[in-house]
Every structure is written in C-alpha cells, then in structure tokens.
Amino acid sequence: MDVTVFRKLILAEIAELEGLSKSSKSGRDPVTLDQQSVGRLSRMDAMQQQSMDLAREERRQQRLIILAAALQRIEADDYGYCLGCDEPIKPARLQIDPAVTTCVSCAV
C-alpha cells in the first residue's frame, strides 16, 4: 500500500487543526469581569463561549495526538494494519479517517 497519500491527508489535517487552534486563541482567553463595560448577561454569554472554545481546543489537541501516532506508525512501517487482529485495514476506511487503528471487524 502506498502510504504517501495517507501521509498527505494526515499532514493536511494537522495543519488545519493547528490553524484553527491559532485562530481561536482569543476565544479561550479569560473573560474580563468589568461591570462597567460588560453587563452580567453578556459576561455569562462570554464565559459560556469561552467554555465551549476550551472544549473544542481540547478535542483538537486529542486529535493531534492521534494524528501524530499515525505518522509514527507510517515511519515504523506499521501503518495500515489493525491493532486488534494485525490484518490490513482497507484503504477505503483509511481514506475516511487516515488515523484509524482498527479494521471494521475489530471496531465493532
């Protein structure tokens, strides 16, 4: 199996996630508690938005770890094999998620 296509997919997703992380950094900054410039409901909305941004960033970081592990499997020539049964994972499944670690049978 030619892993260069999957390496490109993984690197593209990493670049996208890192870009999203950088562009949303201001949304994760602490909310200012200045009652003069922001009302109570606006502060509550800002705090809720900050919480959602932090949760999104945590999911991004988890996905980046998964993608980095996939790159390590490529480097070790272990990429594309199921961690459950050690059989090759179908390329169509890898096309959908290039970081997947199990075949369809083991995923169930």
pLDDT band at 22 (very low <50, low <70, confident <90, very high): confident
Query: For residue 23, is pLDDT > 60?
Result: yes
- Residue 81 has φ and ψ, to the nearest 5°, of -115, 140
Average of per-residue pLDDT across 4-24: 93
Tokens at 88, concatenated: 């090759």
Q: How far apart are CA 21 and CA 15, in angstroms?
A: 10
Which position has the token pair 């994760």?
28
The answer to whether 9 touches 98, Cβ cutoff 8 Å, is yes
- Residue 88 has φ and ψ, to the nearest 5°, of -60, 140
In degrees, rounded to 5, the angle at the alpha carbon of residue 79 between the alpha carbons of residues 73 and 80 is 155
